Copies of this chain bind each other. A is one copy, B any other.
Amino acid sequence: MNPQVKAVEYAVRGPIVLKAGEIELELQRGIKKPFTEVIRANIGDAQAMGQQPITFLRQVMALCTYPNLLDSPSFPEDAKKRARHILQACGGNSLGSYSASQGVNCIREDVAAYITRRDGGVPADPDNIYLTTGASDGISTILKILVSGGGKSRTGVMIPIPQYPLYSAVISELDAIQVNYYLDEENCWALNVNELRRALREAKDHSDPKVLCIINPGNPTGQVQSRKCIEDVIHFAWEEKLFLLADEVYQDNVYSPDCRFHSFKKVLYEMGPEYSSNVELASFHSTSKGYMGECGYRGGYMEVINLHPEIKGQLVKLLSVRLCPPVSGQAAMDIVVNPPVPGEESFEQFSREKESVLGNLAKKAKLTEDMFNQVPGIQCNPLQGAMYAFPRIFIPAKAVEAAQAHKMAPDMFYCMKLLEETGICVVPGSGFGQREGTYHFRMTILPPVEKLKTVLQKVKDFHIKFLEKYA
């Protein structure tokens, strides 16, 4: 068996989620529990939590799937226009044909146009756009290409701690070196360039650090980086000749009124040609998050900047082995970047649906922060963006001992107890990484408001009982 595969860990679907599945089966078999359902707050899966798909997106997808519907009066004209636009670019005018390995041409053009609009006119080139099978596929593909070497020249990949465990998993799989830089919990999980410098300096002793991964808005930490911070990071990458990998899948998920999303691409260009012609950057987006929450379609794209033409050739070759990303996911991505505009028939309904999802998320972000901070022994930074809370939890010494007796990390022990006693499934902080001696968990804010309130109340009651039990 491949030892690198053995080394892989992925907490978001790890042992606690397997346990949740077992408990669900027990409930189905009629086994009595102190709760009637498992609430899967472990993963950012909006529609599984009851979020309704955006009507326009699904209408276009249905038209593309079954083009007979193009004659149906029950579909709006703008949806039909989008569907025809997508289908004319597909082989045999069908979602059932393979696309080019880099993705359908017109969809890459639409993505480039979207980025240009988003970034206030900073140009995007369709040749730099690669459609992917969700963002995860893009991230692991680009890392696969960049990683090389053995011994002291093994490639170092810098990742934030806490991180989204796709990064650590792919780094294990590729036998690269994970280089941790710590986000500043006391400062709303901000990224500090001095910490990047420390991490890089220490990593150079035993690896060849080449890649710097940034997650903004943060997962699991929910912080939104300031423009100043992004400038500092870009300057650092330029200075140290690091390849910048910007995971920006939560770009539509910003809730704090004093925060906004700045793309690395835009800031890079605004810093001038010395940066914009030299810093290598790959940025990722997805259909899974934002307001659409279309995880199941596995749609996504990456934009690459300053990638060497030879590497680009290697990238297309590598992608071609898997033929192409799912064309239905590509179509979904197209609708995300090319939504109804004012004056179009579907614009009003689309805007209403989008604002409703994002407005609710903003409300739930605030609610979650406030409720957690009312609980003794729980501290939660503001959820500026993304769709998770990552509160710090106090775990008493006796509970740490009990966890050790069960050969579990203390926060795993905590989360298992929470699951067994309340049915609420969250992911222990140790699955994302955290400063030694601190404990956290990640919980999504996706349940509907009333349900989320109940969930938060249950966590509160559980936590207080837990503190008492292990006092």
Contacts and interface: CB of A to CB of B under 8 A. Distances in A.
Contact of A1 (B46, B69, B148, B170): B148
Question: What is the copy number of this chain in the assembly?
Answer: 2
Contacts of A181: none
Given A2-B144, A5-B314, A320 B95 contact: no
A276 interface: no
A61 B66 contact: yes
Interface in A378-408: none
A69 B2 CA distance: 47
Given A91-B48, A322-B137, A96 B146 contact: no
Contacts of A31: none
A297 B310 CA distance: 30
A257 interface: no
A39 interface: no
A133 B326 contact: yes
Contacts of A173: 144, 318, 321
B96 A295 contact: yes
Interface in A53-84: 53, 58-59, 61-62, 65-66, 69, 72, 74
A58 B47 contact: no
Contact of A3 (B62, B99, B148, B328): B148
Nearest to A69: B62
Contacts of A165: 321
Given A1-B145, A53-B94, 7 more contacts: A47-B91, A47-B92, A96-B292, A97-B295, A133-B322, A134-B323, A173-B318
